[in-house]
Chains A and B, each alone.
Chain A
Amino acid sequence: MEEFNALIQGFGVALSPFNLLLMFVGVVLGIIVGVLPGLGGANAVAILLPLTFSMAQRPGGTTSAIILLSCIYWGALFGGAITSILFNIPGEPWSVATTFDGHPLAQKGRAGSALTAAFTSSFFGALIAVIMITFLSPVVAKFALEFGPPEFFGVYLLTFCAFVGMSGEKAFKTIASMMIGFALAAVGLDSVTGTLRLTFGFTSLLKGFDFLIAVIGLFGIGEILETLEEGLAFKGASAKINMKVVLETWKELPRYWATSLRSAAVGCFMGIVPGGATPASFMSYGLAQRFSKDGKNFGSGVVEGVVAPETAAHAAGTSALLPMITLGVPGSPTAAVLLGGLLIWGLQPGPLLFVEQKDFVWGLIASMYLGNIAGLIVVLTCVPLFAAILRIPFSIIAPVIMVICAMGAYTVHNSMFDVYLMVVFGVIGYIFKKLDYPLAPLVLALVLGDRAEENFRNAIKGSQGDLGIFFSNGLVGGLTTLALVLLFSPVLVAGWRALRRR
């Protein structure tokens, strides 16, 4: 099969000593970052992105750079589970569901089991997702080569409507958040007409708002401020993993094959349709609770209760990369940052990537396999080390994190204004999180806003102002209809329920 050959070639690219080193460094960094509050996966990738500029200029450098960044991503996915289980503090939003059964297990003295189960499930979820990516992405990419501006806009529309449709109660806050992202994306020089938009005479706003600054502020500073409410100390259970516990847990895991497969499926789906790892983990936990024989014991410390969310979260996080590389539509905030990185390095994510940059794409896919294996090894062997990081007193670690964030914000454009902006975003992030305004749509809109608008304008120009172009052929029509259905589905469902009650 063609894909197999391409994959083997990809392994050839990925298995260079330099890239392997980067893989381990990335995974370790990612785990550390996943453990620390305020330095999440998206944030860490955002901060390290400018540092990869020089790497990306060298031939083959972009592949190394994306390997480093994506391994940080895997590491963060693994690391979030450590603090969830040991300290009941989710290191990442998608690890919240892991605390439900993970921490009780730790409190019962079975932290080693919980951790092993979490890591192995994560690995399994990621593996399923990567296999899916291997075989599905060339298909999607070939398909997407037929896409024109209307089709691309249709995909973006679907993405954003999916967010709103799935947000339930807080649909209006989601819309507001998303629109704020679009508005921020519009600030600055308009590429088509050359006019300045929304700058109100401030020269510092000429370049507009960079999504990296927003991410560092919202997800970094904002998260630290939120964590502060819990007080200034992290108290947690101790963790010891030895081979015996690992093997025992591994023997127990195959019992939950149904939950694992179901969770992986949920995760893959949620990663592609941009729901993201967080809703995936919750949904999977809820489903497992309903369908498992042991359901009523969920919450008291059941290994299956750890398997479900971790498999789903990791599968979703990984499969979020599928639409990113094939269509140029990121399925999660971290994927959005990675997408931004690709753009900055001069690559065009989307169907052409598979044609023009085969080495890069398949090197990346191959590294997904290797990175996850590396991650599993590192994490199983070094858990006590990582857990110890949280024992560093808050008064030392908090300012250090702030310093790293400030540095990250500065290095994007060598601009102090960005650092001030980061603090503002931090406060906004804190307030938004507390009031339940979702941040993911804001970041996605900020990253995709310009391209969505560009495609919209090009599509409309081509049709001389006729909005019907979005229904002109089966593909576009299908996408647009699906988008509208998802957007209005909560309304439709509520209406249907009300009707049935009569």
Chain B
Amino acid sequence: MENEEQRSAASVRTMEIAVAGIICLFGVLVAFDSYRLGAKWGDDGPQAGYFPFYVGLLICLSSGVTLVRALRNTALAAESFVERGQLKLIFTVLIPTVVYVGFIASLGFYVASTLFIAYFMKRLGKYSWLMAVAVSVGVSVAFFLTFEIWFAVPLPKGPLETALGFG
């Protein structure tokens, strides 16, 4: 009986085709914009789009080969790119990271980081509220002292820091 978690979320073949396809499109985009800029010989040398045009072309060609290979290699359909369980794990880390990064601008780097670390400890590590808050605040304060004060590296600050007087 197959474990639900171990079922494949996507086959290697699907991913190979999808990725090669996307890269190919990217190449088309690059070649297109370069052509628009002028990809031929100008008055005093190659035009701005010359180099990137051929780069784009090569991208298309090489990913085209990969695409064709993947299409022909049906054996890859049996290989799993990522299992469902693994994918879930990836998302449980990726989604909070995206949210964290999204909030850095508005909440300020240190507040966002504290919330991020605390969330991880509580949700994934199953620590108590006390531990989560203690460690996350501790780490953020340590970072603040190191980077803001010692290295004098400015990081985005939010309402809390302004309220405390750190502009």
Listed in ascending order, the chain A residues whose CB lies under 8 Å from chain B are 50-51, 54, 172-173, 175-176, 179-180, 182-183, 186, 190, 192-193, 195, 197-198, 200, 221, 224-225, 228-229, 231-232, 393-396, 398-400, 402-403, 406-407, 410-411, 414, 416, 419-420, 422-423, 427, 430-432, 434-435, 437, 453, 456-457, 460-461, 465
Contact = CB atoms under 8 A, between A and B. Distances in A.
Q: Identify the 8 closest CB pairs spanning chains A and B, nearest first.
A: A395-B125, A175-B62, A176-B62, A399-B120, A461-B45, A395-B124, A193-B48, A186-B52
Dominant secondary structure at the B interface: helix
A465 B50 CA distance: 12
B8 interface: no
B116 A54 contact: no
A180 B101 contact: no
Contact of A228 (B12, B46, B55, B86): B86
B104 A179 contact: no
Nearest to B117: A399
Interface of B: 12, 15-16, 19-20, 23, 26-27, 30, 33-34, 37, 41, 44-49, 51-52, 55-56, 58-59, 62-63, 65-66, 69, 81-82, 86, 89-90, 93-94, 96-98, 100-101, 104-105, 109, 113, 116-117, 119-121, 124-127, 135, 139, 143, 147, 151-156
11 contacts: A176-B66, A182-B52, A183-B56, A195-B48, A197-B33, A395-B124, A395-B127, A402-B116, A432-B19, A434-B15, A453-B51
Contacts of A465: 41, 45
Given A190-B48, A406-B104, A431 B34 contact: no
A435 B63 CA distance: 13
Contact of A414 (B62, B63, B154): B154
A44 to B, nearest CB: 15
B82 A228 contact: no
A259 B45 CA distance: 52
A394 B82 CA distance: 21
A403 B121 contact: no
Nearest to B69: A172
Contacts of A192: 45, 48
Contacts of B47: 193
Contacts of A434: 15, 81-82
A173 B59 CA distance: 9
Given A186-B55, A396-B117, A224 B93 contact: yes
Contact of B62 (A172, A197, A422): A172
A11 B44 CA distance: 49
Contacts of A399: 96, 113, 116-117, 119-121
B98 A423 contact: yes
A419 B151 CA distance: 20
Contacts of A395: 120-121, 124-127
A496 B116 CA distance: 58
Given A197-B37, A407-B147, A461 B55 contact: no
Nearest to A190: B48
A400 B142 CA distance: 12
Contacts of A229: 82, 86, 89-90
A200 B34 CA distance: 11
A406 B101 CA distance: 8
Nearest to A230: B86
B44 A403 contact: no
Contacts of A410: 104, 109, 155-156
Nearest to A224: B93
B66 A461 contact: no
